[in-house]
Structures are given as C-alpha cells and as structure tokens.
C-alpha cells in the first residue's frame, strides 16, 4: 500500500549492476512506495555509461549528479583525467542526460587506504570549487576523515563566499553524533542525508536524529548498500527509503507524512525541483535548480568535449572486506548481517 506522500531518495545507485536483472521493477516499486524521484550520485568513468543510460531511460524519475568518488582516486594514476572528465561533463552534459543536480559523490575516505590523503584532498577541494562555480550543491561522502572534512568544508565555504559564490550541500550517509552535527551545521548551508543506519538497533544515529532539526534532514538509501530493517541482509533499493522515513517519524514523534513533506521540501530546496511544481506528479522532466544563477556563474567550456574513457585500472573491493571502523558504535555495515552488500569501498 503506497504511502500518500512524495519521497525523494537523495542518494541511489540504482544504476549499479546489482539492479541489471530488475531495474525496471525496482523503479516501479519505488514509485509505488511514493518515491517519486531518485538522485543518482556518480562514482567514476567506469560507471558513467550505466548512470547516463539509466537517466535516459527514466528522465522523469532519475536525476544524475556528476563527481569523482574519493576511493576512485586511491592507487589510480589517471585520477586527474577523471577529474577533468567531471569538469567537462558539468560544463557540457552528455546527450539526453539533462542537467546534473549536484557535484557528487565527492569527499574524503581514509578508511580503505590512507596513503592518498593529499590526492583526495586536492580532488575534493577542486570539486567544491567547481560546485561553487556552477552554483550546484555537493553530495559529500566521509569516512574516517571527519577532521580533514570539517576543516576543508569550512575553508572552502569561506573561500566561496569571498568570491561572491556559495558552497552548500549534503553530508551523505550521516551517522555521527550530535556534536559533529552542530559543528557541521555551523559551516553553512548543509543538510544531512539519513539512511538505513537509523533503523539499526545498535546505531547511535537515532539519538542524533532526535537532536536534529527536521529542516536539516534529507532521506536516502545509498542502495544497493546500507539496507534498513526489516530487510537487512538483502540488497537495498530506493523503495525502502520509506522505512527510513517511518523510523525518523517514530524518533521525532511525527507522522511519516510530516517527515516526507519536510524532507522532500528540503531536498528540493537544495537540489532543485521539477519545473512544474507544485502540480501533481505528471510530466515532470527537469529540475529548475538555480539555472539562471548557474548559467551566469558557469565559465565557458574549455578544452575538449566530454568523451568517456574507460578506466580499466580499477579493482573491485576485496570480497571479504569488513566494514566496521574501529570506533564505530553502530552495527553499520556488518558483513555478517548484511550479506556483504552493506558498504563496499565506494558507496
């Protein structure tokens, strides 16, 4: 029974190969569950083709981001080419893809390998500046790197302001404590992506969410990873963002409808919204995210047109990789309970 609400999954990897066998059905299930739109973060050139194909097939429901994931920088001699490709796509989106709604996912991840901090910081900083230039929000991934993240976001927010630009965005898969939330909130216009971890029994995230302002939250799945209860151990999918919505409602003593309404409004404020809102959900094609500003702010395209290249240097995450950081109190991403689907290197 669909909820009488409109949800947005603000972080969905529905284009991942885990959905090759049933992507149409997964998107249909999402719509039936009231999830009207899926925002799709990019990872690197290895998966751009799948991302673009998915957006072309579902232009009314799937909106792409463009960015280079921090773990795609590790051990990658071609990471600067990847970064240049991101810039070309932002300037000139591929045929049939429309506009990108954010620069993402980008960030810092020292968990898998801490030998590439300098490279990750350079790429993250560069992409924050691109986002400010194009007046797009950022979708930020952070793992085992909060100190550098806070410092960099503070610096880049200030630097953007001094140029008359703005840096804003979402801390995706936020699962930290209330103090970190308050510290990050002071950085500027940032929202917090709440996902399946909030449903985990041992997670501290429920306590944090209790302290958070509803206006600071957006909902996400990070599917196929971080599956919420009661489906832990299965592949996650965008329809299940409703479990996140219901859990947040329970924590905050609100109805799911109230949480859906607020978080959808938050997501639309940050990422833009369909041009014909608030009309009902038919015929929505594009986001009217600050187009005028962006066009004015965007530099002319330099260099070559965006042509995809295949980065064949990438390796898959180790199959038996465990996911739980030393000081992680939640049961977030325990491989035994999540069937290895919980949190691979790049999610």
Q: Nearest approach, Cβ of 218 to Zn ion (angstroms)?
A: 14
| Torsional class of 254: left (φ above 0), alpha (ψ -120 to 50), beta (otherwise) | beta
Closest to 117 in 3D by CA, of 70, 77, 79, 67 = 70
Do 183 and 142 touch, CB atoms closer than 8 A? no
Instruction: Write down the least CB distance from residue 37 to Zn ion, Å.
Output: 16
The CA-CA-CA angle for residues 193, 199, 204, to 5°, reads: 75
| Nearer residue to Zn ion within complex by CB, 39 or 347 | 347
Please give the sequence-ordered ranges of beta strands (E in DSSP) within the chain, or none if there are none.
7-9, 35-40, 62-64, 103-109, 138-143, 168-171, 189-194, 217-219
Q: Between 288 and 327, how does the x/- string for binding to Zn ion read (CB under 5 A)?
A: ----------------------------------------
Question: DSSP secondary structure string, 248-268?
Answer: HHHHHT--HHHHHHHHHHHHH
Q: Report the residue number, 133 or 238, with the smaller CB distance to Zn ion.
A: 238
The yes or no reply on residue 187 touching Zn ion (CB under 5 A) is no
- Residue count, binding to Zn ion (CB under 5 A): 1
Nearest approach, Cβ of 139 to Zn ion (angstroms)?
8
Least spacing, CB of residue 341 vs Zn ion, in Å: 13
Q: What are phi and psi of 299, to 5 degrees?
A: -75, 160
Our CB check for Zn ion shows the closer of 237 and 284 to be: 237
Binding of Zn ion by 106 (CB under 5 A)? no
347 binds Zn ion (CB under 5 A): yes
Of 77, 85, 3, 75, the residue nearest 43 (C-alpha): 85
Window 209-228: residues binding Zn ion (CB under 5 A): none
The footprint of Zn ion on residues 251-280 (CB under 5 A) is: none
**Which has the closest alpha carbon to 169: 129, 203, 122?**
129
Nearer CB in complex with Zn ion: 91/109? 109
Query: Residue 225 Cβ, how far from Zn ion at the closest point, in Å?
Result: 7
| Closest separation in Å from C-beta 159 to Zn ion | 26
Rounded CA gap, 36 and 34, in Å?
6
Residue 302 makes CB contacts below 8 A (sequence gap 6+) with 91
Site string for Zn ion, 56-85 (x = CB under 5 A): ------------------------------
Q: Specify whether the CB–CB gap between 169 and 190 falls below 8 A.
A: yes
Q: Measured from the CB atom, is 43 or 91 closer to Zn ion?
A: 43
Q: What 3-state class would DSSP assign to 103?
A: strand
Report DSSP state, residue 81. Answer: H
CB nearer to Zn ion: pick between 97 and 347: 347
Q: How far apart are CA 89 and CA 141, in angstroms?
A: 20
Of the pair 102, 121, the CB lying nearest Zn ion is at 102
Q: Which is nearer to Zn ion, 16 or 128 (CB)?
A: 16
Q: How far is the CB of 104 from Zn ion (least distance, A)?
A: 8
Q: Which stretch binds Zn ion (CB under 5 A): 14-22, 46-54, 163-171, 339-347?
A: 339-347
Minimum CB separation of residue 186 from Zn ion in Å reads 25
**Which residues contact Zn ion by CB under 5 A?**
347
């Amino acid at each position: 029974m669909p909820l009488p609400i409109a949800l947005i999954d603000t972080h969905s990897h529905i284009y991942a190969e885990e959905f090759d066998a049933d992507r149409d059905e997964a998107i249909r299930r999402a719509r039936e569950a009231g999830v009207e739109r899926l925002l799709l973060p990019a990872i690197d050139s290895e998966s751009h083709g799948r991302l673009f194909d998915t957006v072309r097939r579902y232009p009314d429901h799937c909106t792409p981001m463009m960015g280079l994931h921090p773990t795609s920088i590790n051990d990658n001699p071609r990471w600067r080419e990847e970064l240049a490709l991101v810039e070309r796509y932002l300037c000139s989106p591929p045929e049939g893809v429309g506009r990108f709604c954010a620069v993402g996912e980008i960030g810092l991840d020292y968990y898998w390998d801490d030998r590439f901090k300098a490279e990750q910081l350079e790429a993250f900083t560069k992409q924050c500046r691109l986002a400010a230039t194009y007046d797009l929000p950022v979708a930020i991934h952070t793992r085992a790197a909060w100190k550098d993240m806070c410092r960099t976001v503070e610096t880049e927010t200030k630097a953007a302001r001094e140029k008359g630009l703005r840096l804003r965005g979402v801390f995706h898969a936020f699962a930290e404590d209330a103090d970190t939330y308050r510290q990050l909130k002071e950085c500027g216009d940032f929202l917090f992506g709440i996902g399946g971890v909030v449903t985990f029994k041992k997670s501290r995230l429920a306590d944090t969410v209790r302290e958070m302002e509803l206006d600071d939250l957006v909902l996400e799945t990070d599917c196929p990873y971080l599956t919420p209860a009661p489906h832990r151990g299965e592949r996650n999918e965008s329809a299940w963002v409703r479990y996140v919505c219901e859990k947040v409602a329970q924590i905050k003593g609100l109805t799911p409808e109230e949480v859906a309404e607020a978080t959808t409004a938050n997501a639309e404020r940050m990422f833009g919204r369909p041009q014909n809102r608030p009309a009902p959900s038919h015929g929505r094609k594009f986001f009217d995210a600050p187009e005028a500003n962006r066009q004015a702010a965007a530099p002319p395209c330099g260099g070559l047109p965006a042509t995809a290249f295949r980065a064949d240097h990438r390796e898959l995450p180790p199959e038996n990789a465990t996911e739980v950081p030393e000081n992680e109190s939640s049961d977030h991403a325990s491989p035994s309970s999540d069937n290895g689907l919980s949190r691979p290197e790049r999610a």
